[in-house]
A and B are shown apart, each in its own frame.
Chain A
Amino acid sequence: MKPLVDKELCVACGECIDACPVGAISVGDECAEISDECTLCGMCVDACQYGAISMPDVGTGADEDLSRYKGVWVFVEWRHGTVHRVSYELLTVGRKLAEKKGTDLCAVIQGHKLDGVEKDLFRYGAKTVYVVDHPSLAHFTDEIYGNVLVELVRRYRPEILLAGGTSTGRSFIPRVAAMLQTGLTADCTELDINDEGLLLQTRPAFGGNIMASILCPYRRPQIATVRPKVLRAEPLDMPVDGQVVRPDLPGACFVSRVEVLEEQVLEGPGANIAEADVVVSGGRGLQRKENFAMLEELASLLNGAVGASRGAVEAGLADPSQQVGQTGRTVAPVLYMAVGISGAVQHVVGMQGSKVIVAVNRDPEAPIFDVCHFGVVADLFEFVPAFIRKIRKERGEEV
């Protein structure tokens, strides 16, 4: 299969040749020709100003009546006694999607000794909360969490299912999608309902350099994950008068081939880096391990965490748990301060989702300034202490 070229519309301009990432297009005298090298990425379709190229039909017909699926569901992530913030963010966007579709928002929560945490979910507009409380859900396993969610989806048939792009969601939601034989779009940054009533899922690809909008037209539910802090959580003024349903599930759901031996919540400098609203990261520019102390002071003033570039970690200036980037953690805080970090792409992909990025670097040519919102060309050893003094002064603290 290849994209179709409409010979009437094609003017042989050659724009599509540059657009093709695999070099599969050539232009003859009259129109573009696409070779077998084509990977059907669709870039040429977008590139053609004349609308001459279109994707071939994909005839994956529905083998079930899709209209039997109704409602927007959010998988609520419960962790050691609390609801993960991403769940509230998902309920907020789920509520908007449900309104647009004229359907109900429901929540599913799994865990053990949940003790009424479900009540909080009504504040975010959940009309029904499905609660599965079972000893074997006390610790996460892909198998049991997946089995339970699949069983509930088969029973109640939601049209849309949203889950957090956490280490839990990214691990077991693909199992859910594969068991249900439906599509899954990971790490969406935007969710909407299109004119046909389908879930329009937009996500970055190629390290954030390209955005893609994705549909799951013929399978249900349409499943998407969203990373924490990408969307905003907004409770309702008045909680919804909702119901709690405690479904009886077959014992087979609670059988896992995997045995959990131990779970550890790590302490250490990078422990809360993925959750923090403010991350102050240091690079090789810090020069010495002791100099990270001022970043720690700044971060603690803002109730934040301290991160580091790979360079800083490899030079022994910071702990590996603090590493932000492609081989480290991905963070998306409200404020990300990159101090003495040059801004290699491997670092940028781990922090580019941050709301506000501040770069402090002595080198005005440093690539970090291409991705920041506020750039400070200065000696960090002067700037950071001065910034700390400023915050303390504004708070009326002794400096």
Chain B
Amino acid sequence: MHIVVCLKQVPESQNVRIDPKTNTLIRQGVASVLNPFDYFALEAALTIKDERLDTKVTAITMGPPQAKEVLMDALSRGADDAILISHRAFAGADTWATSFTLAAAIRRLEPVDLIVCGKQAIDGDTAQVGPELATILNRPYATYVKSFEFVDDSHLKITRQTDEGVAVWRLPLPALVTVLKDVGEPRPRSYRATLRARRYEIPVWGPEELGVDEDSVGLKGSYTQVVRIFSPERKKDRIMLRGSVEEMVDELYYWLKEQRVPGL
């Protein structure tokens, strides 16, 4: 079985802020990390590998050269192979252009039985690349997967979270899943895998290796364009209530009534 895990390197979003004075992004001290949800995607793949010994796990990422850090991390946790998809032409990609590029890479890695993605990336939060990638590759998919098991060699039984509960699906392979944290606690790096990762030369694929036209990827290949970036409107000045507990209770009640909170 061949499993491809799609990873993304993201800025630690809690630290990304716009300076209110200059209206610019403050980048000081913002580290790049593996998208937290992708740890669970990797863990899901490695869990399958634990049980099915003939499994190969390939980690891929698209990003600038330093994105290879997240591939090293994946190798250190037990991924067998890693591919960095990196080239100037890929910059500025929206979710379509990203999915299109990842699809081209996965076609080169075929046969691929299962593609695993995190539920979304914390920088964009779109949750689009998984479904778009599956659609471009004409594979069935399931999003928000909490747990899965093999029914037989070519079918998964998955449980996906919905807004009101869960749905249980039978999903034929080859397929794609986007997973939730419920699939398992990410395992730590192992000593042996880390040593191997250090010697591992990560191949870098550009448009030429993928066989794609430079105009169909990156900003040029994107259907959406970001026309403006700005700070969210600052919340109305917050009101700190003062006085005794009784006074604060009365005041809060008054304000919530004024804000037309239902039920009051």
Contact = CB atoms under 8 A, between A and B. Distances in A.
Interface of A: 1, 15, 18-23, 36-43, 46-47, 56, 58-60, 79, 139-143, 146, 166-168, 170-172, 174-175, 177-179, 181-187, 200, 204-219, 256-266, 271, 274-275, 277-278, 301-304, 326-327, 334-335, 345-346, 349, 355-356, 358, 369, 371-379, 382-383, 386-387, 389-391, 394
Interface string B70-103: 0000000000000000001101101110010000
Contacts of B236: 373
27 contacts: A1-B89, A37-B64, A39-B64, A42-B229, A43-B25, A46-B23, A59-B220, A60-B222, A142-B141, A167-B161, A174-B127, A174-B132, A175-B135, A181-B96, A182-B223, A187-B125, A206-B123, A207-B125, A213-B228, A259-B169, A260-B168, A263-B165, A277-B263, A278-B261, A326-B122, A373-B236, A375-B238
A20 B64 CA distance: 15
Contact of A383 (B167, B249, B262): B249
A46 B229 contact: yes
A56 to B, nearest CB: 7
B53 interface: no
Contacts of B241: 374-377
B219 A210 contact: no
Contact of B232 (A79, A211, A266, A376): A211
B171 interface: yes
Contact of A386 (B27, B181, B246): B246
Contacts of A43: 24-25, 229
B30 interface: yes
B220 A377 contact: no
A265 B164 contact: yes
A197 to B, nearest CB: 14
A191 to B, nearest CB: 14
Interface string B242-259: 000110111011011001
A305 to B, nearest CB: 12
Interface in B151-206: 157, 161-172, 181
A171 B143 contact: yes
B224 A185 contact: yes
Majority secondary structure, B binding face: mixed
Contact of A21 (B30, B88, B91): B30
B17 interface: yes
A35 to B, nearest CB: 11
B11 A206 contact: yes
Size bracket of the B interface: 35 or more
A235 B144 CA distance: 33
A302 B261 contact: yes
Contacts of A264: 165-168
Given A178-B96, A187-B125, A278-B262, A373 B91 contact: no
Nearest to A266: B165
Contacts of B91: 1, 38-40
Interface string B55-67: 0000000001000
B224 A335 contact: no
A321 to B, nearest CB: 10
B169 A258 contact: yes
B75 to A, nearest CB: 24
B25 A21 contact: yes
A78 B30 CA distance: 42
Shortest beta-carbon contacts, A-B, top 10: A40-B92, A183-B223, A345-B14, A302-B263, A19-B24, A174-B131, A183-B224, A178-B135, A266-B165, A207-B13
